[in-house]
Amino acid sequence: MANEKDLDYKAIGAVILVSAIAFTAVGAFQVAPWLEKRKAKKLAAAKKLQVANKKR
């Protein structure tokens, strides 16, 4: 394992910062639309069930 003197804390901080920005971007452009589709699908299923219950 490296000694404490060998660690470059600025570089480690930069890597953490870049990783956080990358994961935020992935969340915004990949996960958010997927969650919206899932939410819409659940809403449609609930509405369909509600309409079926009204017909009875």
Query: Distance (Å, rounded) from C-alpha 54 to C-alpha 46?
Result: 12
- The confidence score (pLDDT) of residue 7 equals 77
- The confidence score (pLDDT) of residue 50 equals 84
Query: Distance (Å, rounded) from C-alpha 46 to C-alpha 7?
Result: 55
* pTM score, whole prediction: 0.49
In a domain, 28, yes or no: yes
**Per-block average pLDDT, block size 10, for the chain (56 residues)?**
71 95 89 88 89 78
Which domain, by its residues, includes 29?
Answer: 7-55
In a domain, 12, yes or no: yes
- The confidence score (pLDDT) of residue 28 equals 84
In a domain, 19, yes or no: yes
Count: domains in the chain: 1
- The confidence score (pLDDT) of residue 11 equals 92
In a domain, 20, yes or no: yes
How far lies 26's CA from each of 38, 40, 43, 44, 45, in Å?
A: 17, 21, 25, 27, 28
